[in-house]
Amino acid sequence: MLEERKNNYIMSIFKSGIYFGISICDISTGEFYSAEIKDNQNFPLLLDELARYNPSELVINTMMSDSEEEISKIKERFDCYITNYEDKYFDDKLDNLNLRFNITDTNNKKIEDIADKKLAISSINALIQYIEQTQMTSLDHINKITIYQISKYMSLDINARRNLEITEKMRDKSKKGTLLWVLDKTSTSMGGRLLRRWLNDPLIDVAEINKRLNSVKELKNDMILRGDITENLKKVYDIERLAGKMAYGNANARDMITLKNSLQKLPDLKQTLSNCNSVMLTELYNSIDELKDIYELIEKAIVDDPPMTVKDGGIIKLGYDEEIDKLKTATTQGKNWIIELEAEEREKTGIKNLKVGFNKVFGYYIEVTKSNLNQVPDRYIRKQTLTNAERFITEELKNLENQILGAEEKVVNLEYNAFVQIREEISKNIKRLQTSAMAVSTLDVLTSFAIVAEDLNYCMPTVDNSGIIDIKAGRHPVIEKMLGAGLFVENDTYLDKDENRLSIITGPNMAGKSTYMRQVALITLMAQVGSFVPAQGAHIGVVDKIFTRVGASDDLSMGQSTFMVEMMEVASILKEATPNSLIILDEIGRGTSTYDGLSIAWAVAEYIADKEKCGAKTLFATHYHELTELENKLEGIKNYSIAVKEKGEDIIFLRKIVRGGTDESYGIHVAKLAGVPKQVTQKANEILKNLERKNILTGKQLEKKDKKQVEGQFDMYNYKLAEIAHEVDKINLNELTPIDALNTLVRIKEKMK
Ligand code: ADP
Ligand code: MG
């Protein structure tokens, strides 16, 4: 019943003070991971891990279930079933844990000092016991537990995962229109699952990333190799899940045939890699176990088209088991004797239409029609009367029947036993099956990257630790694919750790700001996953984390897009971002009044730009043109805008990013383009002119006139002016007493200082 291309995870959470130990298992494939969260931002990290695995069930200890606020946040964001599990199961005893399971780190190295990992151990113990209790079965196919470091992978906060639409769309959670949708040219469901996991776990280790990239390059350059691989992969079924079913004891004979057919492809698949040069393809070549013994076992034992049920016989091939063969011959022989007996009885009795038949209730019988009853001899024993006939048995027939049915029953039992034995034999080799399955999945994903790179004209990025993101003629992978080749307008990007850390991006609505920023984040992410990227050239200095935050009013997906949520998330970005992070801020501050919003946006930009405080690479789209002032004030900030061309009353979107800010928002033009009635857009124009005259919103003229005087505090002056205007506007002259009027004036004077 499980969706094949998706893992189905169950996760245990052991909360201890402010720390967490987590374990994650996919019972159907036998994958088992565990980690400890001991950073200072524990809960957000836990949420990130939840977002990574998206488990369908959570098993938690009391301290966790008592943390109401955290639980409600989890429930709000994840659709999973939560089980409170008794604390006694979350024990940190090692017992024979490391004998039963091979506990390693992500580099496959045995973890030496496992006693150190009490948080992880507690969650592992609970999850194992929980699975054993609920599944009431052995967990033989889970033999490896990988304790991973949360920082081995790029950290993607929940918003980045959602907002970048990596594996599911924000609106409807569908796959179409996501990065996965563009990149998934995998041939097997195992490969599909692994690709999804890779996209959710971009790497940060330069060597590991380049290992993947180099193998993709080799596959991309060799069309014949690629073709051979996919040809073979297409006939490989889900070895990983089949292996799980074997160990689980619920595989039937058909599953074995599917497994056999898949295994049959392994030698060819392996052969295709024999001349490869890249490190990773060579490694895969070495790690594909052809599993010929398993193939031969199934080939020898199981008929090619077995029934669904395993308890009614018809499974085992002739020649596999002597005993079964003997009994089978006996039944066939018995059936021949029955035919002979029929002929004999006809002869003896002279009844020409005498028949020997069989039914499940009465067994074998001799049937004589009513008209011939007088010829029936005494030795016939009446068994059943029908309208036109009578049925009899004889001593001899009864004996034959016992022999035949006895043999048939024995055969069915023997076949079942033989089948179970074969299944157990396969289960014993589960590790080998899993190793090959992993190699096949990996090859599938790398080949998928190569196919996409070739088809969509992607380039190989240079990945290092330079801290530079330099993209030439980059494209947004998803929007490009939706628009069709050639229609997407390419753009360059340059960010580094010095002069070009923070780009302020202005431009009218619909210009392409959000698209541009996501494109940069996606290209960076793709490069760190090991995929080629949609660009003419790309130099990607590895980033440790990607954050995105979209202004409240743009973020429709959660229904509760309050300014509070927006600010909480901005707060956590500011706390967690490092100089190696990439931050995408898309019109933050929108969820509140203009002046609050502008002030916050301004302060956030200043904070990030400060190397001492944050210094992360940042793309910051804003409709507050005032922020372009920052370029002249602070180091590391550059203004960009997305160009539009005015053509009479209309504007044309050029989609090109250029240096320098804009101060035009063209909002009314866009309204016109969108079909807002002319009366409304004309009125809007009048209002705008009026406001501009009053200097309230732009302060532009003021800046020109009194530049010297206002220099350095221009921004604050501007806000005060606006605030005062607001206050004056609120005054109701009909209710104002002379004293009040005087007081108000004093207050305003005070503010002017
Ligand atoms: P903004 O954030 O500035 O309001 P968006 O990024 O949402 O604008 O872009 C609006 C639309 O413009 C997108 O849905 C996309 O279809 C189109 N678009 C954006 N960038 C490009 C581009 N570089 N080439 C072609 N079309 C683009
Ligand atoms: Mg936008």
Distance 467 CA to ligand 1 centre (A): 27
Distance 134 CA to ligand 1 centre (A): 50
Distance 509 CA to ligand 2 centre (A): 7
Residue 224 has pLDDT above 80, yes or no: yes
Specify whether the CB–CB gap between 505 and 477 falls below 8 A.
Answer: no
The whole-number pLDDT of residue 700 equals: 47
Highest mean pLDDT among 101-115, 473-487, 639-653, 670-684: 473-487
- Nearest residue CA, atom 18 of ligand 1? 512
**What percentage of residues in the chain have a pLDDT greater than 90?**
54
Which ligand is the nearest neighbour of the Cα of 586?
Answer: 2
Distance 637 CA to ligand 2 centre (A): 20
β partners of residue 24: 11, 33
pLDDT digits (tens, 9 = 90+) for 690-707: 776 665 544 444 444 443
pLDDT digits (tens, 9 = 90+) for 290-303: 999 999 999 999 99
Helix (H), strand (E), coil (C) string for 352-366: CCCEEEEECCCEEEE
Which ligand is the nearest neighbour of the Cα of 487?
Answer: 1
Specify whether the CB–CB gap between 662 and 625 falls below 8 A.
Answer: yes
DSSP 298-334: HHHHB-SS--S-SSSS--BPTTS-HHHHHHHHHHHHH
- Nearest residue CA, atom 23 of ligand 1? 489
Which atom of ligand 1 approaches the CA of 509 most closely? 4
Which ligand is the nearest neighbour of the Cα of 508?
Answer: 1
The whole-number pLDDT of residue 541 equals: 97
Specify whether the CB–CB gap between 164 and 522 falls below 8 A.
Answer: yes
Distance 167 CA to ligand 1 centre (A): 21
Grouping H, G, I as helix, E, B as strand and the rest as coil, residue 463 is strand
- Nearest residue CA, atom 20 of ligand 1? 512
Tell me how far apart the alpha carbons of residues 335 and 605 are, in angstroms, rounded to a whole number: 90
Name the amino acid, one letter, at 288: I
Structure tokens at 102: 């091979």
Structure tokens at 711: 């220099």
Residue 415 has pLDDT above 60, yes or no: yes
Name the amino acid, one letter, at 208: E
Tell me how far apart the alpha carbons of residues 428 and 431 are, in angstroms, rounded to a whole number: 8
Put the strands of the sheet holding 502-506 in their side by side order: 155-156, 545-550, 582-586, 617-621, 502-506, 637-647, 650-659
Residue 513 has pLDDT above 50, yes or no: yes
Tell me how far apart the alpha carbons of residues 596 and 228 are, in angstroms, rounded to a whole number: 61
Q: What's the rounded mean pLDDT across residues 742-750?
A: 84
The whole-number pLDDT of residue 2 equals: 57
Which ligand is the nearest neighbour of the Cα of 481?
Answer: 1
Q: How confident is the model at residue 597 (pLDDT cuts 50, 70, 90)?
A: confident
Specify whether the CB–CB gap between 519 and 525 falls below 8 A.
Answer: no
| Choice among 445-459, 686-700, 736-750 with the minimum mean pLDDT | 686-700
Grouping H, G, I as helix, E, B as strand and the rest as coil, residue 80 is coil
User: What is the architecture, at CATH level 2, of domain 458-662?
Assistant: 3-Layer(aba) Sandwich (3.40)
Which atom of ligand 1 approaches the CA of 515 most closely? 6
Specify whether the CB–CB gap between 628 and 663 falls below 8 A.
Answer: yes
- Nearest residue CA, atom 27 of ligand 1? 512
Distance 519 CA to ligand 2 centre (A): 13
Tell me how far apart the alpha carbons of residues 191 and 168 are, in angstroms, rounded to a whole number: 17
Which atom of ligand 1 approaches the CA of 511 most closely? 3
Tell me how far apart the alpha carbons of residues 202 and 167 are, in angstroms, rounded to a whole number: 13
- CA-CA distances (angstroms) from residue 395 to 339, 348, 349, 360, 366? 16, 15, 16, 19, 12
Residue of 106, 114, 118, 145 lying closest to 24 (CA atoms): 145
Q: How confident is the model at residue 668 (pLDDT cuts 50, 70, 90)?
A: confident
Q: What's the rounded mean pLDDT across residues 240-253?
A: 92
- What backbone torsions phi and psi does residue 255 show, to the nearest 5 degrees? -60, -35
Q: How confident is the model at residue 675 (pLDDT cuts 50, 70, 90)?
A: confident
Name the amino acid, one letter, at 733: L
Q: What's the rounded mean pLDDT across residues 610-639?
A: 91
Consecutive H or E run containing 402:
helix 395-428
Instruction: Provide the mean pLDDT of the chain.
Output: 87
The whole-number pLDDT of residue 404 equals: 86
Which ligand is the nearest neighbour of the Cα of 512?
Answer: 1
pLDDT digits (tens, 9 = 90+) for 120-160: 999 999 999 999 888 866 777 888 899 887 766 898 988 89
Terminal-to-terminal C-alpha distance of the chain: 72
Residue 731 has pLDDT above 50, yes or no: yes
- Nearest residue CA, atom 4 of ligand 1? 510
β partners of residue 25: 10, 32
Which ligand is the nearest neighbour of the Cα of 505?
Answer: 1
| Choice among 341-355, 607-621, 644-658 with the minimum mean pLDDT | 644-658
Distance 75 CA to ligand 2 centre (A): 29
Specify whether the CB–CB gap between 669 and 508 falls below 8 A.
Answer: yes
Q: Which of 163, 475, 478, 479 has most ligand 1 atoms within 8 Å of CB, for mutation?
A: 479
Q: How confident is the model at residue 718 (pLDDT cuts 50, 70, 90)?
A: low
Classify domain 322-423 by CATH number.
Answer: 1.10.1420.10
Tell me how far apart the alpha carbons of residues 323 and 502 are, in angstroms, rounded to a whole number: 79
State how far Cα 125 lies from the chain centre: 26
Q: What's the rounded mean pLDDT across residues 202-224?
A: 95
DSSP 8-state secondary structure symbol assigned to residue 372 = G
- For 218-235, b/e burial (b = at least 16 CB within 10 A) is bbbebeebbebbbebbee
Tell me how far apart the alpha carbons of residues 466 and 474 are, in angstroms, rounded to a whole number: 19
Distance 308 CA to ligand 2 centre (A): 54
Specify whether the CB–CB gap between 491 and 519 falls below 8 A.
Answer: yes
Grouping H, G, I as helix, E, B as strand and the rest as coil, residue 732 is coil
The whole-number pLDDT of residue 557 equals: 47
**Tokens 């079942």 — which residue?**
416
Which atom of ligand 1 approaches the CA of 653 most closely? 12
Residue 376 has pLDDT above 80, yes or no: yes
Distance 464 CA to ligand 2 centre (A): 30
- Nearest residue CA, atom 5 of ligand 1? 512
Which atom of ligand 1 approaches the CA of 475 most closely? 23
Q: Which of 171, 510, 651, 654 has most ligand 1 atoms within 8 Å of CB, for mutation?
A: 510
- Nearest residue CA, atom 19 of ligand 1? 512
DSSP 544-612: SEEEEEE-GGG--TTS---HHHHHHHHHHHHHH--TT-EEEEESTTTTS-HHHHHHHHHHHHHHHH-TT
- Nearest residue CA, atom 13 of ligand 1? 512
- Helices (runs of H) and strands (runs of E) counted in the chain: 28, 22
Distance 591 CA to ligand 2 centre (A): 14
Tell me how far apart the alpha carbons of residues 268 and 249 are, in angstroms, rounded to a whole number: 29
Q: What's the rounded mean pLDDT across residues 711-724?
A: 58
The CATH number of 184-291+430-455, from 1.10.10.10, 1.10.3330.10, 1.10.150.120, 1.10.1420.10, is: 1.10.1420.10
Distance 510 CA to ligand 1 centre (A): 6
- Nearest residue CA, atom 6 of ligand 1? 512
**What percentage of residues in the chain have a pLDDT greater than 70?**
91
Q: What's the rounded mean pLDDT across residues 328-345?
A: 88
Residues with CB under 6 A from ligand 1: 479, 488-489, 507, 509-515, 655
Which atom of ligand 1 approaches the CA of 491 most closely? 23
Distance 514 CA to ligand 1 centre (A): 7
Residue 555 has pLDDT above 60, yes or no: no
Consecutive H or E run containing 505:
strand 502-506
Q: What's the rounded mean pLDDT across residues 20-47?
A: 87
Q: What's the rounded mean pLDDT across residues 712-737?
A: 70
pLDDT digits (tens, 9 = 90+) for 635-662: 999 999 998 887 777 778 889 999 988 7
The CA-based dihedral angle spanning residues 713, 719, 723, 728, taken in that order and rounded to the nearest 10 degrees? 80
Give residues with Cβ within 8 angstroms of 546, minimum separation 6.
154, 155, 156, 157, 160, 164, 521, 524, 525, 581, 582, 583, 584
Which ligand is the nearest neighbour of the Cα of 510?
Answer: 1
pTM metric for this prediction? 0.75
Q: How confident is the model at residue 676 (pLDDT cuts 50, 70, 90)?
A: confident
The whole-number pLDDT of residue 188 equals: 96
The whole-number pLDDT of residue 460 equals: 98
- Nearest residue CA, atom 10 of ligand 1? 510
Q: How confident is the model at residue 673 (pLDDT cuts 50, 70, 90)?
A: confident
Residue 223 has pLDDT above 50, yes or no: yes
Q: What's the rounded mean pLDDT across residues 110-125?
A: 82
Q: Which of 471, 492, 515, 520 has most ligand 1 atoms within 8 Å of CB, for mutation?
A: 515
Which ligand is the nearest neighbour of the Cα of 662?
Answer: 1
The whole-number pLDDT of residue 743 equals: 85
- Nearest residue CA, atom 25 of ligand 1? 488
DSSP 596-638: HHHHHHHHHHHHHH-TTT---EEEEE-S-GGGGGHHHHSTTEE
Distance 536 CA to ligand 2 centre (A): 25
Consecutive H or E run containing 209:
helix 206-221
Specify whether the CB–CB gap between 528 and 203 falls below 8 A.
Answer: yes
The whole-number pLDDT of residue 714 equals: 43
Residue 398 has pLDDT above 80, yes or no: yes
- Nearest residue CA, atom 12 of ligand 1? 512
The whole-number pLDDT of residue 727 equals: 78
